[in-house]
Structures are given as structure tokens and as C-alpha cells.
Amino acid sequence: MTWLFLALSGCRHTPTPTTSLEDTSTDNIEDTDTTEPTSEPSAEPASEPSVEPASEPSNEDTDQPSDPEAAIDATREGWNLVWRDEFLDSEIRTDRWNFEVNGQGGGNNESQYYTDRATNARIENGALIIEAHQEQYTGSDGTRSYTSARLRTLNQGDWQYGRVEARIKLPFGQGIWPAFWMLPTDWVYGGWAASGEIDIMELVGHQPNIVHGTLHYGGPWPQNVYTGDSYTLNEPFSNDFHTFAVEWEEGEIRWYVDDVHFQTQTNWYSTAGSFPAPFNQRFHIILNVAVGGNWPGYPDATTVFPQRMEIDYVRVYEPDGSTVSDPTKLMMTVDTSCTNQPVNSVALTGPWANNWDSYSTVPATNNGDGTWQVELDMPTTDIEYLWVVNGEYENLVGEMQNGGTCAPVTDYWNYANRVWSLGSGNPTVAYNRCTPCP
């Protein structure tokens, strides 16, 4: 159902804050690639042969595909698969990945030496293993007390827009810093971070159940800034595999964990180009496990080695054109799966609905998967809103008192209202929560 708003109102240094901050660190500065701008990547037959020799068995005869990866279903509604690595080979494919070998600290005062040894990166049982070890290692950059690996698809897998996802089991422990991220291939807008950086997933090992999604942009260091958010699981990410993804289109980037949408960003800038710069150029994928650094701190007596990141697959998709969003519409979605009760009715309300009147709510459509949606005509200003489930209005006061940020229009005592900001994407939230449903 489409509704037109006649009256509208609007009464973390966490590692990835939700507002733009001056980034005084040099997180993930890519300084090892010379293509990058300088800145502060034969047996006899058993019987008589027939007139015609036997032909070689075809794929149809053996029922085995010529490409083993093709036997793995990677279909995703609305998307076409354009690149993948399922890690089915016995060795890492050098036509897809290249190693960065250095002990330069990644621009973050990290402690590891990245090598190309099988000790640090290899294929095991259909997964890419990146493993950090505590050991003395000496290379051209000197001696380090830890080793690990950092792989990238530079000039072998480079994309502008699409869905980039990987299924990963993460390491843990003080000073351990795994990452699945992207850097620009051509550095169109200059050195880091004027040309941008997309962090699909990062985890700092002393917080094993929290992952972060971040954008770095702005000017060259130290004029760089960053914005982002985090996703919290009810158990460590080291317990099992999880899928991490971004969906990147012109002017909008969305983050997902296990297909739960937890963040959308639509506001960024580059000092060397107009919006949507810098995120309108080719980027490539990086997988690494850092040890130590400005953000995670350094290993201590509690840190267990070796620590490994296991990557089941990496896949890249492009839109198939079947799900083009309508820029004149706003789709509001609520996840009710964590209400722990049958849900019979869901509606949206706000000051624009006859001043929160219970008889003027906008009914939602049941998607059949625990989520409900309302389609609105695109507002022309910020709007406040709350969801109503089974006749009960959301009460987010407690969430805000405990450090939540999802309902910024609040007195922290009597009311706490959500806000959709003009120019942001289609929001998905969990009923009565500031964090996604587990």
C-alpha cells in the first residue's frame, strides 16, 4: 500500500561509529603495492580392438562437470554470479589470488610478517586457510615475532558495484585481527583514503562475537574519515562459519551477516571528486589475518597460537535487473522473528499518522519469513516512526538507556522514536530492538 506523507517531523570512538569522524589512525593503509599512489596490495586392450577405437569418455558419460565449482549451487535471487573461488583445488590459484609479502605493519603498527608460505596460507578440505603463527621470521623488512598471510585479487578480480560475499570461520584472541575487505584498484582519487576503502568484515579478537563494517574516505591521510556500524552475535564467530557480504550500488552500500541486513551507508565524500566518489571505481578483494596493531592491541598471555581464518568460498555477483528499486518509493521492513510469540498484525506509525493515532497506522504486508514491509511514497524530509506488532507499540526507551542508537528522538525516560533520514536507504530493523534478531 502506498501512502503519501502530508506532515513530517523530526523532533561509537567505537571502531566503526555511525557518524563521520576524523580518522586520526591510518587503519588499513595499503602501502605495499607499487601501482598505488604514494601516501602516508599405455595398456594393451583385453580384447581385439574394434574397427573404430573407443572414444574418450565425455562429461555426459561420467556425469562429472568439467568445472567442479559448477556443481556447487551458488544461485541467488536477483543476482548473477560473475566470479567465485570455492577453493576446490589442491593449491591456491595464482590466476585468482596474489600474495603480499612484507613486514611493514600495514600502516597500523601491526606485528606480523606476511609470507607466501604454505605454513601461513594453503587449501585444506575445500577451504582457504590463513593462519597466524607466533615465530621469529626474518625477511627483507627485518625480523618479526609473528607470521601470517594476506591475499588479494588485484588485477585478477576487480569490480565496480555488485554483491561481494564470503563464508568464513573467524579466529579469536587478544591481538588477532581478521579482515575481509576491499581497496581501489586504480586509486582514481589519490592516496588512502581519498580513493576509499570498503571493510566488509573486521573482527578484533578480544571481542569474538562482534564484527564491524566500515567505509574509509575523505582526503589523503591524515584528512581521512570513516563511518560504520557493528553486528553482534550471541556466540563467538569462531564457533562456526558465517556469511559476510556487502551489496554495493551507485550511491549506496549495504552490509549483511548471514543475510541479515544490519547497515546501509549513503553519505560519504572524496576531496578529489564529487559524489558518489570515491566509491564509483574498481575495487579488489583482500583477505588477511593481522596480529597486533593500533586497534586490536597486541597478543598477551591469553592469546593462543596458531590462529586460523577458514574461508569456505568467495563469490561476486552483479544485479540481474529483476529487482530494480523504485527511487520514488521507500520500503520499510521490520523483523518480528525474535518476538517469541505468534504475530498476527504489524503496522507502521509516526507523528505523520495523525500524531501517532492507533487508528491511523499503516498496515504492513507479511513476507512469510518473519519480516513485514510497508511501501511509502518517498518522503521529502526526515521522519520519525515506530512499529506496532499485535497492537503493541515498540518501546525502545530501555534500549537507549543501555547505549542503543536506534531511536535518537528520546528523553531516555518516556519515549524513544526511530528516525529515517532523508537520502538513506530502505531500512530493516528488528521489532523492539536496536540490534538485529539473533
- Nearest 5°: phi and psi at 62? -95, -10
Q: Which residue has the cell 516512526?
A: 385
Separation of first and last alpha carbons in the chain: 29
Measured between alpha carbons, how far is 147 from 288 in angstroms, rounded to an integer?
11
**216 neighbors 268 (Cβ within 8 angstroms):** no
Q: How far apart are CA 11 and CA 26, in angstroms?
A: 37
- CA–CA separation, 352 and 343 (whole Å): 25
Rounded Cα–Cα distance for residues 190 and 408 (Å): 36
CA distance 334 to 420: 13
Max CA distance (Å), the chain:
94
Out of 100, 197, 310, 399, which one is annotated catalytic?
197
Residues with Cβ within 8 Å of residue 190, at least 6 apart in sequence: 37, 39, 220, 272
> Which amino acid type is present at position 219?
G
Name the catalytic one among 202, 252, 310, 384: 202
CA 270 to chain CA centroid, Å, is 21
Burial class (CB in 10 A: 0-12, 13-18, 19+), 343: middle
φ/ψ of residue 243, rounded to 5: -100, 125
Contact 288/150 with Cβ under 8 angstroms?
yes
CB contact set of 359 (below 8 Å; sequence gap of 6+): none
Angle at 184 between CA 178 and CA 190, to 5 degrees: 120
The enclosing H or E element of 80 equals strand 79-85
Residue 91 annotated to the active site = no
Spatial CA neighbour of 347 closest among 329, 371, 374, 367: 374
Catalytic status, residue 197 = yes
**Contact predicate 225/20, CB 8 Å:** yes
Quick one: cell of 305?
Answer: 597460537
User: Active-site residues: which are they?
Assistant: 197, 202
